[in-house]
Amino acid sequence: MGSSSTGNGPVRLSRRELEVARLVAEGLTNREIATRLFLSERTVDGHLEHVREKLGVNTRAQIATWVTRQGDPSPAPVAAAAPAPPTVSRPSRVLRRRWLIVAAAVLVVVEAVVVLQLQGPQGPTIVTVAGSSPVTEGSVGYFSGEGGRPTAAVMSLPSDVAISRDGSIYVADYRNQAIRRVADGRIVTWAGRGDNDLEAGKFGPSVKIGHASNIAVDPNGRPFVLTNWNRKLEVWTIEPERTMTLVVIVGPSSTQFGEYWPPPVGGLAIGANGTMYLSDRSANLVYRYVFSDQSLKVVAGTGHAGYSNDGAAATGAMLDRPGGLAVDRHGNLYIADSGNNRIRKVDTNGTITTVAGGGGKYYGDTGDGGPATKARLSFPFGVAVARDGTIYIADTGNNRLREVMPSGTIRALAGTGTAGSAGDGGPALSAQLSAPEGIALDGNGNLFVADTVNLRVREVIGVNP
């Protein structure tokens, strides 16, 4: 028994919950705890959830802090009567006094650290930067707010987001078939929702762009859009004056569109060396497009759904509904292999490996605090990579964002795992998300997420400063 981290009185943990909490404080992962206590990993997850609820905390670090403050809460054994102590010599008394002073100093330092942890920031915070609830709760068929305040606008299943160097936010407003731009405190349609067919040279807001589910921005700030206009997979760019330019036609698209949870057409990412990558979700392929010679080449996938060839050539590897893409500063490509519940990496030599997710076709929500390749994901649709190599994942089916540290350890970043929209203005780990899809980093280390079923774009502040 002890006090909760919020100071709301004593907390009573069961014997098993206390054992789990102590092992968390020792730094063990859920799998290691399960092995130590001869439990299933699912049972450990359940005990941890109860511990978090009782303590009123969200992270493993907060549980460890609570254990540190409680010391050893088990009752002290009853001691038998002891014989009279021997006479203590003067040197022994001096030595004992010194040890007591050292012990007291250590306790003061530990308490100071705990206080600083409790008073300091509780990790990244989350806020809404665009989107609001529609007139009819639960509806996805509304469009409003043109030219006004972004957080007063209504979007319909936004599926992707991209950030330019000047801080402009571009949103793929999926069901509204529009690309919207947030800048200078206003939200404006940049392309789509028009009456004209999509043709080069036409004004973006005057044309139809189909289900443009993915968007990326080049180093010059131009947005590129992956769409299935007229049942063809195409990439277009929107020029600064908002005219449309065709970049490449990949071929027919057979993507089936969902009403509630939109499957992306594919994925889109632009590297710093004049290349663009795009994934065709329905064809299970990833392409590289080179701007200088306008060449289009398959760099990953065989065209057949499955999982294979890790550690070998990416062109011989099977993918399963590849979605979001990202390119790191070294030119390595990251693929949200959503049907395989994995994030995979194609290095500059063309070799493919798994960097997160180890459950194959079996989705799940486990592994935080341990190796990312042993964790389970659930239909991850989005991926982003920071300059230091940290990988960010939109774990769509789990309603969470997760991060893989350069060391290879995975941990939760945002979301409780339960679908919902609560938590704005507070810790990201305490907030609720609902099927987040596209994610993007800005130049200041903030992560933006298309919180799709919540009809919003949200910002997780300070994830990679």
Residue 147's SS3 state is: coil
The first and second tokens of residue 418, run together, are 């339960």
Q: Are the CB atoms for 436 and 401 separated by under 8 Å?
A: yes
**In 3D, which of 183, 160, 182 has the Cα closest to residue 172?**
160
Q: Look at residue 254 in the predicted model and tell me its pLDDT.
A: 63
Separation in Å, CA 127 to CA 58, 131, 207, 343: 18, 11, 32, 26
Unique residue bearing structure tokens 């390119």:
327
CATH topology identical between 1-72 and 125-461: no
What are the DSSP calls for 340-374, one per residue? GTEEEEE-TTSBEEEEE---TT----B-TTSBGGG
CATH, domain 1-72, list 1.25.60.10, 2.60.40.420, 1.10.10.10, 2.60.40.10: 1.10.10.10
Side chain identity at residue 51, one-letter code: V
pTM: 0.74
Determine whether 240 is exposed, middle or buried from the number of CB atoms within 10 Å of its CB (0-12, 13-18, 19+): exposed
What does the pLDDT profile of the chain (465 residues) look like in tens digits? Answer: 444 444 445 677 888 888 888 888 888 888 888 777 877 776 787 788 788 878 887 788 788 778 877 754 443 333 333 344 444 444 445 455 555 454 544 444 444 444 434 444 468 999 999 999 765 555 556 899 999 999 999 999 999 999 999 999 999 999 999 999 999 999 999 999 999 999 999 999 999 999 889 999 999 999 999 998 878 899 999 999 999 999 999 988 765 554 444 567 899 999 888 899 999 999 999 999 999 999 999 999 999 999 999 999 999 999 999 999 999 999 999 999 999 999 999 999 999 999 999 865 678 999 999 999 999 999 999 999 999 999 999 999 999 999 999 999 999 999 999 999 999 999 999 999 999 999 999 999 999 999 999 999 999 998 986
Q: Look at residue 130 in the predicted model and tell me its pLDDT.
A: 98
CA dihedral over 189, 191, 192, 197, signed as positive or negative: positive
Q: Look at residue 190 in the predicted model and tell me its pLDDT.
A: 98
The C-alpha atoms of residue 303 and residue 315 are separated, in whole angstroms, by: 9
Residues written for the chain: 465
Q: Which residues contact 100 (CB under 8 A, 6 or more apart)?
A: none
Q: Return the exposure string of 298-329: e unless at least 16 CB atoms fall within 10 Å of the residue's CB, then b.
A: ebbbbeebebebeeeebbebbbbbbbbbbbbe
Domain boundaries, the chain: 1-72, 125-461
The C-alpha atoms of residue 440 and residue 268 are separated, in whole angstroms, by: 12
Q: Which residues contact 12 (CB under 8 A, 6 or more apart)?
A: 1, 54
Query: Cβ of 31: how many Cβ atoms within 10 Å?
Result: 17
Give Cα 408 distance to the centre of its chain.
15
Q: Look at residue 45 in the predicted model and tell me its pLDDT.
A: 76
- Which helix or strand (DSSP H or E) is residue 355 part of? strand 352-356
Architecture per CATH, domain 125-461, reads as 6 Propeller (2.120)
Q: Look at residue 83 in the predicted model and tell me its pLDDT.
A: 40
